[in-house]
Chains A and B, each alone.
Chain A
Amino acid sequence: MISIEDLEIYLPKYLSPESQEKLFDALNDFPDNIDARLYTTALRGGLTTLQGDGIRDLPVVHLPDPAVRNTPVLILSNSCDINHENKRYLQGSICYAPILKLNKYRRVLLDNAISEEKVRDHIRDIRIQRITQIFFLPKGGEVREDSIVFFDQVNHCVNTRDICADLNSRRLFTLSQYGHYLFLLKLSIHFTRLTEGIDRSSI
């Protein structure tokens, strides 16, 4: 039988009891609180880039198109993995995905002959975080308009100390505890769900 102690490892023990309670109060209100509560200003001016941070102007490619353009992005890498205070033999890269404007996305779908009804239903599903490969970033805080991120549009950039320092000056927003938890749940479901339905055999 699973004991309470076994289950405790799935809870964020690094939080104070008060923060933990606030986090779970917010999660309990999901999906009726997908709004500015996804962001926090408490860490504004911080010197560390965090997972889920929005960053202005990082280089993005969309292969096989060889063009490279700077766009706003959402950091996918784990905060610890990109922190230069953590000494490593090999400094990894920063993984991120471009932030797209939801209104432009809607317009493009309509312009490409997707019906009004289909687009409306699709946007509704995006707004309540039902699309597994899309993370919805609602307008609020430093986010000027509703935006989306496709988890399958991952890009990376080398993580030198200079680049990392520069990221902090280009931060657009930081996810709140609740926003980060929701982001992690969606990221995990998108990349690691066991639903492929294939018996791979053992050899």
Chain B
Amino acid sequence: MTPTTTIPGRFVAPSLLTATILVGTALNTDHLSTEINFNNLGSPYKAYSWENSISGLPYNIREEQNNEISYINILHRVVSDLVENSVSVSAEISKIVNKEFWNLV
């Protein structure tokens, strides 16, 4: 099938298929990406004719999927921040907490 159109920018990610690819790609990274920078692919991105037809899907579906990818990205970042930067209470402090418990409430 012959590429037909050069498509700029992130709003070419309309279909479920494309959105799935975006998430699938993003899951291999530390931080979920919400977009692919087509400028980094080495050559202009070409759309196939079938992509033109599915890009006719209602826009609100595309927007909802973009939001969900963005939300998952945010959750991933917050959880990563909490897990990767987590610190435990030292044994020294734990002992004090147990000994002084009623002085803390």
Residues of A within 8 A of B (CB): 1-4, 7-8, 10-11, 17, 20-21, 24, 27-28, 30-31, 60, 62, 65, 67, 69, 71-72, 98-101, 104-105, 108-109, 112, 114, 122, 125, 129-134, 150, 182, 185-186, 189, 193
Q: Is A150 touching B97 in the complex (CB atoms < 8 A)?
A: yes
Q: Is B16 touching A3 in the complex (CB atoms < 8 A)?
A: yes
> A10-B72, A114-B96, A185-B82 are contacts. A131–B88 as well, Cβ < 8 Å?
yes
Q: Is A69 touching B105 in the complex (CB atoms < 8 A)?
A: yes
Determine the main DSSP class of A at the interface with B.
Answer: mixed
Nearest chain A residue, comparing its CB with the CB of B97: A150
Interface residues of B in 46-99 (CB under 8 A from A): 65, 67-72, 74-75, 77-79, 81-83, 85-89, 92-93, 96-99
| C-alpha spacing A193/B82, complex, angstroms | 11
Interface centre among B24, B71, B74, B102, by most chain A C-beta atoms within 10 angstroms, is B71
For residue B85, which residues in chain A have a CB less than 8 angstroms away from its CB?
130
